[in-house]
């Protein structure tokens, strides 16, 4: 059996305590403190990698995008995506910079990136002018914006202005339909790996 906690939790619930109570062998989302601790340590391997960050790296690998030696900028520093994907990029030998809400002149930093992982949770924050020509862009953001032409009254957009970015980037994921399906695939992979470990014991 596997356990997944749908993050983020409501503010009145202690997220750290909930995640810490999950058995390490059942933490298919990879957020147990021991899994994250091992991810942060050189030479250690967590039982499970967080699904969305793992999916981002898998997308780069499967698209033939080299990570080693590249400048990677992660926009956002959440425990769910920003921090773990930064650690995974470091393990892949990228030079990693994290841009967050207190970063001065973020557009200048992002413009130096060969690889951009956008996970800030701000609709279309990253403009085409922020992107270096040919850069690889993974847009993790999922933001609802008003759209009176839609039956629902809204549409989903990423943290990147997709239309502008398409004119500059060498490769980009759409929202929706980019990172989301890969996250689900990585969750299924983690669940299968966990089941195999139990069977092999």
Share of the chain above pLDDT 70, in %: 100
Residue 27: per-residue pLDDT: 93
Q: Please give the mean pLDDT across all residues of the chain.
A: 95
How far, in Å, CA of 25 to CA of 59, rounded? 26
How far, in Å, CA of 140 to CA of 25, rounded? 27
Query: CB within 8 A of 41, min separation 6: which ones?
Result: none
Report the predicted TM-score, pTM, of the whole model to 2 decimal places: 0.92
Domain spanning 51-179: CATH 3.40.50.970:
no
Say yes or no to pLDDT of 5 above 90: no
Say yes or no to pLDDT of 164 above 90: yes
Q: Answer for the pair 142, 158: CB distance below 8 angstroms, yes or no.
A: yes
Q: Answer for the pair 52, 28: CB distance below 8 angstroms, yes or no.
A: no
Domain ranges of the chain: 51-179
What are 20-50's pLDDT values in tens digits? 888 889 999 999 999 999 999 998 999 999 9
For residue 43, is it left (φ>0), alpha (ψ between -120 and 50) or beta? left
């Amino acid at each position: 059996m596997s356990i997944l906690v749908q993050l983020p939790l409501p503010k009145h619930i202690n997220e750290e305590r909930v995640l810490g109570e999950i058995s390490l062998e059942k933490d298919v989302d990879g957020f147990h403190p021991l899994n994250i601790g091992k991810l942060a340590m050189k030479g250690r391997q967590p039982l499970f990698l967080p699904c969305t960050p793992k999916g981002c790296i898998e997308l780069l690998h499967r698209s033939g995008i080299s990570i080693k030696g590249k400048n990677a900028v992660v926009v956002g520093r959440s425990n769910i995506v920003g921090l773990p994907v930064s650690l995974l990029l470091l393990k892949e030998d990228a030079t990693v910079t994290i841009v967050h809400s207190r970063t001065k002149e973020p557009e200048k930093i992002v413009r130096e990136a060969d690889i951009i992982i956008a996970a800030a949770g701000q609709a279309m924050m990253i403009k085409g002018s922020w992107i270096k020509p040919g850069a690889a862009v993974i847009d993790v953001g999922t933001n609802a914006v008003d759209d009176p032409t839609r039956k629902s009254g809204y549409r989903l957009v990423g943290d990147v202005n997709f239309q502008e970015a398409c004119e500059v980037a060498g490769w980009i994921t759409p929202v929706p339909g980019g990172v989301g399906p890969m996250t689900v695939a990585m969750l299924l992979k983690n669940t299968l790996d966990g089941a195999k470990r139990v069977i092999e014991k």
